Amino acid sequence: MYEIVDIYTSFRRSQGGFNNRPYRIPKDFNKFLFETMSEKNREYLTYATKNFNTKWRHIDPNRFFDCGFEVFGKNFSYIRFFDRKVLNLYIERDKNLKRKQKLSREAIIDDINFIKRYLGKGMIEQVKGSPLINYCCLEENGQLVPIRHYLLNRVSRYIIVWMIDRGYLKLRDGDRELLPLILENYREYLDEVKSMDKFIGDLAYSHRLLR
């Protein structure tokens, strides 16, 4: 779940990147939010946070705000968070990014390392059974965590296909609607993954994600 400060920080990070200057977050954020920020801007920021936790939950706030500054430049502000041009650019860029993914050992290593970092040492050591199978069952806001991570480009489509083929990740109807690219090209991607099946499995075992 995103907090208001998380979304504000993402916005300021993108703003700092666009202006090529460092950004700072108020030490007492709540005081800044309720005493310094205008009521209108606070409403827009609050509503945006709600969206990123609900209907925009598959959107990466950092890349979304980068798109906002690309569309509006220095005039991108709270009120323009909801301008359709920003969302359209994000969707276009996201589709292109997913289409350009290539299967490689480096990409799979990145996937496994991300999953390991996400689960953390505590969960890996304490969970009964295989942590990777447990990972495939976790949910955030009613959405399976691996699907969320794929939509946010944290993991590649290839690790998703591999986990589906292994039977670790079981898709529900709502999940299928979020994976049109994977499902339309599943056989093609599966053929690619099969060529690295042993490498992926061995890597997962070496990282203690499978037992």
Q: What is the pTM of this model?
A: 0.74
Is the confidence at residue 62, as pLDDT, over 90? yes
Q: Distance (Å, rounded) from C-alpha 170 to C-alpha 97?
A: 25
**121: pLDDT confidence band, cut at 50, 70 and 90?**
confident
167-192 CB burial, b ≥16 within 10 A, e <16 = ebbebeeebeebbeebeeeeeebbeb
**34: pLDDT confidence band, cut at 50, 70 and 90?**
very high
Is the confidence at residue 37, as pLDDT, over 90? yes
Per domain, the residue ranges of the chain are: 4-99, 105-206
